[in-house]
Amino acid sequence: MTAILTPLNPADVQARLKSGRARLVDIREPDEFAREHIPGVAHAPLSAFEDAHLSIKAGQDVIFMCRSGMRTQTNCGRLAARVDGEAFVLDGGLQGWKDAGLPTSVDKKAPLELMRQVQIIAGSLVVVGALLAWLVHPAWIALSAFVGAGLFLAGATGVCGMARMLMLAPWNRTRAA
């Protein structure tokens, strides 16, 4: 068992996948995976990783990936613990794969990733609160402060109330990854 993941560039990963020598495992969450992923990749979201079936054949290299590679490197010990022998990471993640001009499967009908939805709404509310405080009444700055406090609590506790509410929105409930 290793404590690090060896980086592989996208072209090397593609060659290993084509030859059948490797299994690529995407650790992004279901909402991210549904929107875009590499065809043929195994999906094992980090939130349920220990329970995931990785479908690794004997002698296959295991290559982990996320959006940019950062989440994979942050969790390298946890990921490598599931692999006998050396484990690898797709350098640059999905973004590196796309930057190399390699194909992805995109579903534009799938909702935006939940955290992007939170960022859009929170950012909009902060701007609206600031504009209303400037144009209407200074008390509107409380809207921006409320959103900022919510983001602070989400970061401190790992629980985002806005994300939980957005999960209940009809556009986020219609499709399973």
pLDDT at 175 over 60: no
Phi-psi region of 85 (alpha: psi -120 to 50; beta: other; left: phi over 0): left
- CA gap 136, 38 in Å, rounded: 49
3 confidence band (pLDDT: 50, 70, 90): low
Q: What is the pLDDT at residue 10? A: 97
- Per-residue pLDDT, averaged over 138-157, amounts to 94
Structural contact between residues 56 and 23, judged by C-beta atoms closer than 8 angstroms: yes
Q: What is the pLDDT at residue 1? A: 43
The structural domains of the chain, with segments of one domain joined by +, span 6-106, 114-173
pLDDT at 176 over 70: no
Where does 6-106 sit in CATH, by number? 3.40.250.10
User: Each residue of 95-142: pLDDT tens digit?
Assistant: 999 999 999 999 888 888 888 889 999 999 999 999 999 999 999 999
Active site residues: 66
- CA gap 20, 23 in Å, rounded: 8
- Per-residue pLDDT, averaged over 165-172, amounts to 87
First to last CA, the chain: 31
Helix (H) or strand (E) holding 35: helix 30-35
User: Each residue of 5-61: pLDDT tens digit?
Assistant: 899 999 999 999 999 999 999 999 988 898 899 999 999 998 888 888 777 788 889
158 confidence band (pLDDT: 50, 70, 90): confident
3-state helix, strand, coil in the chain (%, to 5): 50, 15, 35
